[in-house]
Structure 1
């Protein structure tokens, strides 16, 4: 257990999640001119207009049964945990009006939302193992500066085992300038089943940058990623088919030089950058199967040869 406690100390926590460095586009050496697209960069600077998903709780009376209880005494109602998707939606619905503004990160004019009342109940959505890694005091501290949280995107991520979900959240955060700012984060929620209930076993978040992709590299663009990383680095592509877009999901299929077909699924973030979520391979006459080709290893092998 000492390892887990040290792990939490080393990892930065934010919004009850492991907070990792942004996956910013990488300026690889001089990609071909066809990837230096003349494009309208204004799209990289705009906030979200999406409707929020976490709007199931809008009355403070919902928290009445939990007022006088210690965090350890609170039990989440089973009807809020009956599927992975419901667990995540209910968790973020509880957190939507929760705030932990501080003297250094101010916002609002008086009481904001439901104040800190929702946090103890939200904490009980986490598995016991996750709670051991992140005690309640650390969990609450990870929300410092947060005045409001909106869940904008929720999508299941294909995995060979377990239950993993993509999320994107929008927060309103306090500042030391008497103003409040919108910020965006994306990441993944892992859900674990305990008998007939589902609880959150891990959350990982990455910050979104609105000044990087417009000026640097091509690594944020789905088509360029497929062309360069899987085409030029791995020598995989014979022909790339037109991109299919459904909301924030971008699907790119290619015909491989090896006779197999390949499919790449990207999710588009609020800052209009594309994140590769999953890969598939289909051998001639066969079904689509999850794949995990690492283009970085292709590049390293190419560099060594």
Structure 2
């Protein structure tokens, strides 16, 4: 059996290499250079993005797919790189530009390989992306530490991007990332992350000051957790634990945004906003309570504190 499998692998490897050679020759003969994702119109009716992702959500980080943006940065050290001022004039512009740079980056390793040649712009985008951070971030995270955080990742798409309520003049965005990662098995796989990017205004420009990401598990919730479901979270944590729910209204959902409203035992109206991740887990994003003037104000209730007080 082992010998048979080895023969199959050798046969597949030969046919794969032949296909790659023929494909490269076809590209050179017909287009003079390898296919650029920004030139998908060369194949009418063909969406090149279908080769990169299974998700149907539109990609957000698509600013630099023609690769000309990277031309001035070749052969420059990380400390010599400067960003165009136009990229950081708005908070959302900074986030989109930063994530668009990272979309073209790869940090595959000998133990986590993928692709059949050069992937994207290789590691060139990483020192450029590092320039989107504040000086305080640079003090806390060196460039090498930053680079290592992408170990094994070969491609990155942003599929969710939403601004969170501002707090004390701090601007934050929720993001969900869809990555293609290498492996030691001769295949690549999709992995998903979600988290928050926090920005700070520095001399009329927005720089990234903090960032925290969490990996998504596709096995935990369906087997063990009720915490993945927004309705269960509200009923258990805010109802049973905090004894705060008098009447719960029907859940509403638009796309991946779930809104749950309930009337509290204190007579106030509460509104909880959840985002639904790719693995179907609902993540609590914001909590609001309607004050006496009829407007909603941001609040922070930790249901675990309710348990501690019992």
TM-score bracket relative to the smaller structure: 0.7 to 0.9
In structure 2, what is the Cα distance between the partners aligned to 1:212 and 1:91? 31
**1:76 is aligned to 2:83:** yes
For residue 55 of structure 1, the aligned residue among 37, 42, 62 is 62
Q: Which runs of 5+ in 2 are unaligned?
A: 1-53
Shift of residue 138 of structure 1? 1.4
Indicate the residue corresponding to 1:67 in structure 2.
74
The answer as to 2:218 corresponding to 1:237 is: no
Q: Find the counterpart in structure 2 of residue 36 from structure 1.
A: none
Residues 66-119 of structure 1, C-alpha deviation per residue, up to 9 Å, x if partnerless?
A: 113211111111111111111011111011020111101000011111111111
After superposition, the C-alpha distances for 1:30-77 in whole angstroms (9 at most, x for unaligned) are: xxxxxxxxxxxxxxxxx6321211011112221111113211111111
> What is the aligned-residue RMSD (CA, Å)?
1.2
TM-score in terms of structure 2 length: 0.80
Q: Deviations over 1:274-301 (max 9, x none)?
A: 0111111113443111111111111122
Runs of at least 5 residues in structure 1 that lack an aligned partner in the other structure:
1-46
How far apart are residue 248 of structure 1 and its match?
1.1
Larger Rg: 2
1:148 is matched with which residue: 151, 155, 160? 155
Structure 2 residue 107 is matched with structure 1 residue 100: yes
Structure 1 counterpart SS, 2:159: strand
Per the alignment, residue 197 of structure 2 pairs with 189
- Return the structure number with greater helix share: 2
- How does the TM-score come out when normalised to structure 1? 0.82
Q: Distance in 2 between matches of 1:258 and 1:245?
A: 26
- Rounded to whole Å, the distance in 1 between the matches of 2:215 and 2:161 is 16
Q: After the TM superposition, which parts of structure 1 deviate over 2 Å for at least 4 consecutive aligned residues?
A: 283-286
Are positions 1:180 and 2:184 aligned together? no
Any residues of structure 2 matched to 1:26-65 within 5 Å, and which? 48-65=55-72
CA distance in structure 1 between the aligned counterparts of 2:56 and 2:251, rounded to whole angstroms: 23
Contact 1:259 1:284 in 2 (8 A): no
**2:171 pairs with 1:157:** no
Range that drifts further, 168-177 or 275-284: 275-284
Call closer, same or farther: CA 1:217–1:61 in 2, change over 3 Å: closer
- C-alpha displacement at 1:127, in angstroms? 0.8
